[in-house]
Amino acid sequence: MHRPAGFLLMRVALVWGALVLSACTTLGPDYREPEVDWLARWQASLPGPGQIDKSGDGEQVDLSFWWQVFNDPVVNELIATAQRENPSLRIAGLRILESRARLGIAGSSLYPQVQQASGAVAYVNTQQRGGSLPNDSQDFGSYQLGFNLSWELDFWGRFKRGIESADAAFFSSVADQQAAQVLVSAQVADLYFAYRTTQLRIQIAHENAAIQRRSFDITNKIFKSGGGSELDVQQAKTQFLATLSSIPSLELTLAQVRNALSVVLGRAPGDLPELADEANKLPDIGSTGSPEIPARLLLRRPDVRAAASQVAAQSAQIGIAEADFYPAVSLLGSIGWSGNTLSASPDTGSLGIGPAVQWNLFDHGRIRNNVRLQDALLQQLIESYQNTVLQAAREIDDAGVSVVKTAEQQDLLDQTVVAAQRALDIANTRYREGYADFQRVLDAQRSFFSQAERQLINHGTHISSVISLYKALGGGWLVTPIEQLIPEDVRKDMQERTNWGDLLTAPLPSGGIDSQAITSGATSK
């Protein structure tokens, strides 16, 4: 039985396409997480019993709610509010949705890239006048329909590498959102305790001013009664007014810290109901330090994981660039039908299918240099990753030293304040008994008030150092469910504006980027 030539060509094309698919390969290097060779030898200057455990992997250390060490319900409430309302966290959540959409675009490249339907309808009128031929007029309608298909096969892994790159960029956006959580949590705690510290400084200033006002009144009465000198009066007045003059500056600082905290909470600057109570004292967290810290906890910091994901994304770009060395293999197909209203003209149908090859044989070094470019960008990101880890280690060490030294200083300042208080009491007694002049009282007051303020400021600095240590360790983030990335009303507006399908509701994958996941494509699911 005779078979049409088109049928044989179709069989050849299908067999050839199956062979192509079976021979597919993936160009370029598979992702490997950069090694940090010094990590095994590193020992941070952590406070108290805290030290680096080189054998652990950090999985058992939970620093998600580190601020609970302060035992302050207000700071707990403020951080919970910021995690819901902070604008930077909302933007970071939207970037996750953006990268999720980009991953969907990359995934579509595995399917036929062109699936195009076309059609046209036209009315045609022709008129012929003059000349030797008789006048003629003709009109008719024409119409055509067609469907074109073009599918570039992923023969060299170009599209697979593109998905890997988009996949890694997606995980980088997730890690960036978690890094933003770390920063926001630390920022809220830092601003809150800075606010409380400033409140206490204002209280101390008012108490000092009250004491100094009494001294001024006493010296003024003694002077008016003829028993003292005007020098004592003016010195007492100077010290009293100097203390009063420091209060407006502290109140300005208090307002600025409060407004900064308002912005972090996603609110307009103004009074915060959570801060309505006056500060009594700062929390005493002592000099005890962190628990034993596994060395690899450093690599769990969200910013470090984001840097690793950027390395993975760029690693895949090398394979995409190398694919240009080789021919692009595609399967083409088209179906068409055309006709018109002329009775003597037949309708026409067409069918075409077959493979196509496109190969840039002479590129004058463009492809090779593009591969080199992508490799240089990869090495830059590897170096950036190493620098990120180094900076993380520096932050941990700096914060650890600061916690230790501010605790040591606090012990000395506590003793200094006790001694200054005793000196002031003795100076007042000797002045009343006539054994010392008023200058000794002024000096003792100035010393006591100065040391009391130094004691308070150092206490606030110690708390800030503890906050910096937990931030440096990467604490204060949680895996955020998709429905909590952005508020419900925002998601509703986006869904009404654009058809997001299930991208606004489908759960985010747990875990992060790793070499096995990226090379197997598991993270793109």
Task: Look at residue 336 in the predicted model and tell me its pLDDT.
Answer: 84
Among the listed residues 483, 467, 350, 462, the one whose alpha carbon sits nearest the alpha carbon of residue 408: 462
Residues 190/182, Cβ–Cβ less than 8 Å: no
- In whole angstroms, what is the distance from residue 7 CA to residue 187 CA? 71
Helix (H) or strand (E) holding 214: helix 158-224
Residues 319/28, Cβ–Cβ less than 8 Å: yes
**Displacement of CA 243 from its chain's centroid (Å):** 43
Q: Judge whether residue 392 has pLDDT over 90.
A: yes
- In whole angstroms, what is the distance from residue 106 CA to residue 123 CA? 42
Q: Judge whether residue 173 has pLDDT over 90.
A: yes
- In whole angstroms, what is the distance from residue 417 CA to residue 449 CA? 9
- In whole angstroms, what is the distance from residue 250 CA to residue 445 CA? 20
Complete domains list, the chain, with CATH: 46-524 (1.20.1600.10)
122-145 per-position pLDDT tens digit: 888 777 776 666 767 777 788 888
Distances (CA, A) of 95 to 98, 100, 486, 487: 5, 8, 11, 14
- In whole angstroms, what is the distance from residue 167 CA to residue 302 CA? 17
% of the chain beyond a pLDDT of 90 = 41
Q: Judge whether residue 95 has pLDDT over 70.
A: yes
Residues 462/412, Cβ–Cβ less than 8 Å: no
Task: Look at residue 522 in the predicted model and tell me its pLDDT.
Answer: 37
Helix (H) or strand (E) holding 469: helix 438-472
Q: What is the mean pLDDT of the chain?
A: 84
- In whole angstroms, what is the distance from residue 302 CA to residue 367 CA? 35
Helix (H) or strand (E) holding 8: helix 5-22
Task: Look at residue 340 in the predicted model and tell me its pLDDT.
Answer: 78
Instruction: Give 289-306 as a DSSP string.
Output: ----EEGGGGGGSHHHHH
What the block records as the tokens of 230 is 């005007």
Task: Look at residue 315 in the predicted model and tell me its pLDDT.
Answer: 94
- In whole angstroms, what is the distance from residue 180 CA to residue 99 CA? 16
Task: Look at residue 379 in the predicted model and tell me its pLDDT.
Answer: 95
What the block records as the tokens of 61 is 């250390």
Task: Look at residue 481 in the predicted model and tell me its pLDDT.
Answer: 87
Please calculate the CA angle 24-28-30 and round it to the nearest 5 degrees: 100
Q: Judge whether residue 5 has pLDDT over 60.
A: no
- How many other β-carbons are positioned within 10 Å of the β-carbon of residue 452? 19
- In whole angstroms, what is the distance from residue 320 CA to residue 229 CA? 90
- In whole angstroms, what is the distance from residue 251 CA to residue 201 CA? 10
| Residues 367-389, mean pLDDT to the nearest whole number | 94
**Displacement of CA 239 from its chain's centroid (Å):** 49
Residues 322/360, Cβ–Cβ less than 8 Å: no
209-257 per-position pLDDT tens digit: 998 898 888 888 888 888 778 888 888 888 889 989 999 999 999 999 9
Q: Is 196 helix (H, G, I), strand (E, B) or coil?
A: helix
Phi, psi of 293 (to 5 degrees): -105, 120
Task: Look at residue 524 in the predicted model and tell me its pLDDT.
Answer: 37
Residues 278/39, Cβ–Cβ less than 8 Å: no
* Sequence-distant (≥ 6) Cβ neighbours of residue 274 within 8 angstroms: 74, 77, 78
Q: Judge whether residue 516 has pLDDT over 50.
A: no
- In whole angstroms, what is the distance from residue 492 CA to residue 290 CA? 43
Among the listed residues 465, 479, 478, 480, the one whose alpha carbon sits nearest the alpha carbon of residue 69: 465
282-337 per-position pLDDT tens digit: 998 765 445 456 667 788 899 999 999 999 999 999 999 998 888 888 888 888 88
DSSP letter at 35 equals P
42-80 per-position pLDDT tens digit: 877 666 544 444 445 545 567 889 999 999 999 999 999
What the block records as the tokens of 190 is 């830092």
| Residues 459-485, mean pLDDT to the nearest whole number | 91
% of the chain beyond a pLDDT of 70 = 86
Buried b (16+ CB within 10 A) or exposed e, 499-509: ebeebbeeeee
Instruction: Give 104-124 as a DSSP string.
Output: HHHHGGGS-SEEEEEEEEEEE
Residues 473/300, Cβ–Cβ less than 8 Å: no
